[in-house]
Amino acid sequence: MRSSTMAALLALICIACGDNPLAPFQPQLSNEIDSFELQATDVASVTSTVRYDWANTGTLANVDHSTVTTQGQARLVVRDAGGAIVYDKVLTPSLNEATQPGLPGTWMVDLIMTDYSGTLNFRLQKP
């Protein structure tokens, strides 16, 4: 339990640091075991990739999109604990679907933004 709390705290610290291209947009991040959520409002002209580690004890995750794009694109790429891509889609206003099956453990969540403006909002949850 202590290590998951520390991991969540480190994720929050990292999201606030100047290296994170979303920091100026005051993102809200919840990174807990089996549940990950990110929201950032009024993002403007960001081209960057942000990676988060996420603990998933399952072999699948439900992915819920609720992103509004006004310019560019934001792509979500999720890798399982073995590094295999289990999900790769451009974020959309409304989509709810499962990843491909993968290995449980620490999954990587990549948010790839290309000249992105809009409101980011997505969630990953173990079913």
Q: Can you give the pLDDT at residue 50?
A: 95
Q: Can you give the pLDDT at residue 13?
A: 38
Q: Can you give the pLDDT at residue 83?
A: 98
Q: CA-CA distance, 104 to 19, in Å (whole number)?
A: 29
Domain ranges of the chain: 2-125
Helix (H) or strand (E) holding 5: helix 2-16
Q: Can you give the pLDDT at residue 17?
A: 42
Residues 6+ apart with CB under 8 A from 125: 34, 35, 36, 61, 62, 64
Ranges under pLDDT 50 in the chain: 1-18
Across 97-108, b (16+ Cβ under 10 Å) vs e yields eebeebebeebe
Q: Can you give the pLDDT at residue 3?
A: 44
Q: Can you give the pLDDT at residue 68?
A: 97
Top-level class of domain 2-125:
mainly beta
Q: Can you give the pLDDT at residue 20?
A: 84
Q: Can you give the pLDDT at residue 19?
A: 73
